[in-house]
């Protein structure tokens, strides 16, 4: 992110006295207290087993896709973005995704853990809108809209703790469902979303930007 305001949007809240611990590979964690059977079972549930995970080079996490899901989507329709397809994400600025107003939906991401054990990794999403001046309700909060972009929502959710998958497969994380705003005023203008996957130590694994608008139908 390039501006102070944008960095403030993604500022992390740390517990006083928190200090990052030295990173270990999955192989190193697998060998710790190997004789403890209950600990071994817990580590196996996270994919921490001997021989899993490569060398500790490159990013620990690779975010693969972003998906918007809703039980109200037309049969067979999916809204999925491959984060490697930068052009498709950029196209949403001119052709924003349409999210139906007043329906339940949730954000879903898929990601791979390449090496090491991740914990304290979170998904942060900041939604802004500029357009007709006025007041709108967004997620039951009254928000003032100005000519310049105004923050209308901020989502901050933990991914959990993971190790590299034993079969090298990606993980899927569904975030808490929400209900999209509704009303004539919220349907005016386009919403700009900046998403980030980051850990408690401030290491950023993915940054991307996309746009949507609210409509009467998907």
Tokens for 124?
A: 């942060």
pLDDT number for residue 6: 62
Average pLDDT of the residues in 114-131: 85
pLDDT number for residue 38: 74
pLDDT in tens, 143-192: 555 556 778 888 899 888 888 888 889 999 999 999 998 888 788 888 99
Task: Quickly state the pLDDT bin for 1 (edges 50, 70, 90).
Answer: very low
* Alpha helix stretches (DSSP H) within the chain: 4-9, 26-31, 37-45, 86-91
pLDDT in tens, 31-63: 565 666 776 676 666 666 665 555 667 888 999
For the chain, the average pLDDT equals 80
Q: What share of the chain is helix, strand, coil (3-state, %, to 5)?
A: 10, 40, 45
Look at 64 and 133; give whichever has higher pLDDT.
64
Tokens for 97?
A: 């995704």
Residue 30 has pLDDT above 90, yes or no: no
Residue 133 has pLDDT above 70, yes or no: no
pTM attached to this predicted model: 0.75
pLDDT number for residue 15: 47
Are 218 and 99 a contacting pair, CB within 8 Å?
A: yes
Residue 64 has pLDDT above 90, yes or no: yes
């Amino acid at each position: 992110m390039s501006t102070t305001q944008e960095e403030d949007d993604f500022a992390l809240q740390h517990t006083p006295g928190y200090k990052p611990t030295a990173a270990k590979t999955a192989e190193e964690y697998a060998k710790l207290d190997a004789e403890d059977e209950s600990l071994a079972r817990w580590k196996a549930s996270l994919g921490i087993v001997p021989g899993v995970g490569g060398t500790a080079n490159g990013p620990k996490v690779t975010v693969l896709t972003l998906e918007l899901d809703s039980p109200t989507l037309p049969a067979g329709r999916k809204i999925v973005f491959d984060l490697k397809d930068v052009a498709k994400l950029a196209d949403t600025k001119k052709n924003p995704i349409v999210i139906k107003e007043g329906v339940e939906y949730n954000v879903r991401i898929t990601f791979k853990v390449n090496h090491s054990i991740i914990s304290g990794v979170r998904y942060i999403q900041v939604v802004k809108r500029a357009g007709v001046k006025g007041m709108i309700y967004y997620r039951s909060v009254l928000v003032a809209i100005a000519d310049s972009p105004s923050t209308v929502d901020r989502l901050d959710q933990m991914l959990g703790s993971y190790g590299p998958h034993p079969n090298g497969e990606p993980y899927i994380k569904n975030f808490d469902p929400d209900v999209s705003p509704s009303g004539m005023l919220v349907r005016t203008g386009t919403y700009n979303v900046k998403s980030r996957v980051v850990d408690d130590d401030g290491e950023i694994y993915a940054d991307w930007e996309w746009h949507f608008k609210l409509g009467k139908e998907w």
